[in-house]
Amino acid sequence: MWFLFLLAIAMYVLFAGAYFSLAKKAGLDHIAWFAFVPILMNILQLRLIKESGWWVLMYFVPVANIVFTIIWQVKLLNAFGKSGTYVLFNIFLPPVYGILWLVWGYSSSTTYQLNNPIPPNTFAA
């Protein structure tokens, strides 16, 4: 029992560190510590995609929470230059999706791309 508890704490700290690193890459140094507080981690993810933190209240709406979580995850993936199709891992293989975020969070090659201007002639979805 203690082993599982310690494993859960270690995994939480590992994921929080990855999101802390992603927030630093996005230039959100002033709120990067949100990654270590449960509800604030969701607000940090919303701020990474340039949405208001108040949207976190959508998690209390029964069906909308699933829809908005998928939309926000696609936007979060796009913010770091990843394809939105990785969300399928989140739906069907959550451990794989988690490992991918750990790799991206701690990788020096991951860059935040929402600050970059859109090049001309690339307005296609």
Report the C-alpha gap between 22 and 108 in whole angstroms: 10
Contacts of 45 (CB under 8 A, 6+ apart): 19, 72, 76
Can you give the residue ranges of every domain in the chain?
Answer: 2-106
> Amino acid identity, residue 53?
G
pTM: 0.83
116: left (phi over 0), alpha (psi -120 to 50) or beta: beta
pLDDT of residue 45: 93
Q: What is the pLDDT of residues 46-65, one digit of tens each?
A: 999 999 999 999 999 999 99
